[in-house]
A = this chain, B = another copy of it.
Amino acid sequence: MKGIIFAAEGFEDLEVFYPLHRLKEEGIDVKIASMEKGKVFGKHGYPVNVDIAFSEVIPEEYDILVISGGKGPEKMRLDQDALKIVTSFFENNKPVAAICHGPQLLISAGVIKGRRATSYIGIRDDLIAAGAVFEDKEVVIDKNLVTSRHPNDLFAFGKEMIGLIKK
């Protein structure tokens, strides 16, 4: 089984490393994807190696997509290849887990309308404006989609993220 985590410069460190190690715990082969290969740094200074550029990703090869938060999503949402990957996962009802600012990509990909979701409170109104049914909960599960608000929710996010792929 393969997983892909989206991360870009200024990512929320725990929101990349918790899902990364948690998926690896389950024996899942995880790749970090971003605008280009190389190294990116989290807002707290942790580096992570980018294994693959968005433009090289074949979405069909992956079983779960995780979108981390922090300052990365405002950059990643401008990348058309990133949005194509998101769209592909939704069209095929494949597991997507987005946390914090991660749902900004769901707005830009046009996949959030009518879906129950949560996010960092600072972008709550953007989700609502885009047609999401916003819920202020540690984790919201709506079919293939799991969303959480911030790093303090990672225990619940991790549990439901794993729940999606164990169905």
Residues of chain A touching chain B, judged by Cβ–Cβ distance below 8 Å, are: 13-14, 17-18, 20-22, 24-25, 44-46, 151, 154-156, 158-159
Number of copies of this protein chain within its complex: 2
Query: A155 and B18 in contact (CB under 8 A), knowing A44-B44, A44-B46?
Result: no
Known: A21-B155, A25-B155. 14 other contacts (CB 8 A): A13-B13, A14-B14, A14-B17, A14-B46, A17-B151, A17-B154, A20-B155, A21-B158, A22-B22, A24-B155, A25-B158, A44-B44, A44-B46, A45-B45
- Shortest Cβ gap from A145 to chain B (Å): 19
Contact in complex: B158, A13 (CB < 8 Å): no
Residues of B within 8 A of A45 (CB): 44-45
Contact in complex: A155, B22 (CB < 8 Å): yes
Give the docked Cα–Cα distance between A126 and B22 (Å): 31
Give the docked Cα–Cα distance between A95 and B14 (Å): 25
Closest B residue to A17 using CB positions: B14
Contact in complex: B154, A13 (CB < 8 Å): no
